[in-house]
Amino acid sequence: MDEIDLTQQREECERAEALRRVRNSAADEDSPSPDGGEEPVICRDCGAPIPRERLAAQRQAVRCIDCQRDYDREQALEAKLYADGRAS
Ligand SMILES: [Zn+2]
């Protein structure tokens, strides 16, 4: 192995290290809970973190309150359309 190989290897190491640092700091920012350390639950529709209180009330929540309301309304509308369609 000559000098150039060693230099390249070192550069790759440093790049990987820098990447790891960036990933770690990004993960820290994403975590809303320094106490719990749990992964934040992300709204399936808008990608916003779902508030802890909502998850406490509804453990299976996959949407934030706003998106869930929209979703429920759409579901209700679809159910109504479906029922109307069957009736006629
Ligand atoms: Zn949402």
Domain boundaries, the chain: 3-87
* Sole residue written with tokens 């190989």: 5
Cα(39) to ligand 1 centroid in Å equals 17
How far away, in angstroms, is 27 Cα from ligand 1 center?
Answer: 20
Residue 44 CA to ligand 1 centre (angstroms): 7
CA gap 1, 20 in Å, rounded: 27
Q: What is the pLDDT of residues 7-61, one digit of tens each?
A: 888 888 888 888 888 787 666 555 555 555 667 899 999 999 999 999 999 989 9
DSSP string, 1-70: --HHHHHHHHHHHHHHHHHHHHHHHHHHHH-S-TTT-PPPPBPTTT-PBPPHHHHHH-TT--S-HHHHHH
Q: What is the structure's pLDDT at 44? A: 97
Q: What is the CA(1)–ligand 1 centre distance, in A?
A: 55
